[in-house]
Chain A
Amino acid sequence: MPNYELIQQDGLETSLLEVSMGPHHPSTHGVFRMDVKLDGETVVDLKPVFGYLHRNHEKLAEAMSYLASMPFTDRLDYFNSMTNNWAYALAAEQLIEIEIPERAEYLRVIMSELTRLVNHVSLVGFFVNDLGALGTPLLYAFREREKILDLFEQASGARMMCNYFRFGGLRCDVPEGWLDRTREVVDRFPKFLDEYEKLLCENEIILSRTQGVGNLSKELAINAGITGPMLRASGVNYDIRKVDNYGIYDRFKFRVPYSKGKVGDCYDRFMVRMLEMRESIEILKQALDGIEAGPIMGNAGKVFKPAKAEAYGRVEAPKGELGFYLVADGTTQPYRYRVRPPSFINLTVLQDMCIGQQVADAVIILGSIDIVLGEVDR
Chain B
Amino acid sequence: MSEAIPHESVLQRFPEVEWDEEFGTLIVPATKATEVAIWLRDDDSFRLDYCSNVTGIDYLDREFKEKVKNEEGKTETIIHKDPARMEVVYHLYSMEKRTGPLVMKQRTTREKPEAQSLTPVWRSCELQEREIYDLFGINFTGHPDQRRILMWDEFVGHPMRKDYVEPFDYEWEPTPHDEILEKHQKGKVIF
Contact = CB atoms under 8 A, between A and B. Distances in A.
A–B touching in complex (CB under 8 Å): yes
Interface of A: 50-51, 54, 56, 58-59, 220, 222-227, 236, 238, 243-246, 308-310, 312, 314, 321, 323, 325, 327, 329-330, 335-336, 338, 340, 344-345, 347-349, 377-378
29 contacts: A51-B149, A51-B151, A51-B152, A54-B151, A56-B150, A56-B159, A58-B135, A59-B160, A222-B50, A222-B95, A223-B122, A225-B51, A225-B125, A243-B2, A308-B22, A310-B25, A323-B52, A323-B91, A325-B53, A325-B91, A330-B64, A335-B57, A336-B55, A338-B53, A340-B52, A340-B91, A348-B124, A348-B126, A377-B150
A70 B172 CA distance: 23
B23 interface: yes
B7 interface: no
Q: Which 8 A-B pairs have the closest CB atoms?
A: A225-B124, A224-B123, A51-B150, A340-B53, A338-B55, A54-B150, A310-B23, A336-B57
Contacts of A330: 64
B1 A348 contact: no
A329 B25 CA distance: 16
Nearest to B59: A335
A45 to B, nearest CB: 12
B18 to A, nearest CB: 16
Contacts of B24: 310
Contacts of A344: 127-128
B114 interface: no
Contact of B52 (A51, A225, A335): A225
Interface residues of B, number: 36
B89 interface: yes
A49 to B, nearest CB: 9
Contact of A325 (B2, B89, B149): B89
B101 interface: yes
A274 B127 CA distance: 29
Contacts of B127: 344-345, 347-348
A244 B1 contact: yes
B57 A245 contact: no
- The listed residue with most A CB atoms (<10 A of its CB), out of B1, B95, B122, is B95
B103 interface: yes
B98 interface: yes
A57 to B, nearest CB: 11
Contacts of B150: 50-51, 54, 56, 377-378
B123 A348 contact: yes
A58 B162 CA distance: 12
Contacts of B91: 312, 323, 325, 340
Given A225-B125, A344-B127, 15 more contacts: A54-B150, A58-B135, A223-B123, A244-B2, A309-B23, A310-B25, A314-B52, A323-B91, A325-B53, A325-B89, A330-B64, A340-B91, A344-B128, A349-B123, A378-B150
Contacts of B152: 51
A325 B123 contact: no
Contacts of A224: 122-124, 126
Interface string B85-97: 0000101000100
Contacts of A243: 2, 98
A329 B66 CA distance: 12
A349 B22 CA distance: 36
- The listed residue with most A CB atoms (<10 A of its CB), out of B23, B123, B152, is B123
B46 to A, nearest CB: 14
Contacts of B126: 224, 348
B50 A225 contact: yes
A54 B160 CA distance: 13
Interface string B72-96: 0000000000000000010100010
Contacts of B122: 223-225
Nearest to B148: A51
A312 B159 contact: no
A225 B23 contact: no
B77 to A, nearest CB: 14
B124 A223 contact: yes
A355 to B, nearest CB: 15
B23 to A, nearest CB: 5
Interface in B139-185: 148-152, 159-160
Contact of A225 (B64, B101, B123): B123
A129 to B, nearest CB: 26
A246 B1 contact: yes
- The listed residue with most B CB atoms (<10 A of its CB), out of A238, A245, A309, A336, is A336
A224 B49 CA distance: 9
B101 A312 contact: yes
Interface string B1-41: 11000000000000000000011110000000000000000
A51 B150 CA distance: 4
A172 B43 CA distance: 48
Contacts of B148: 51
Contacts of B125: 225
- The listed residue with most B CB atoms (<10 A of its CB), out of A226, A309, A340, is A340
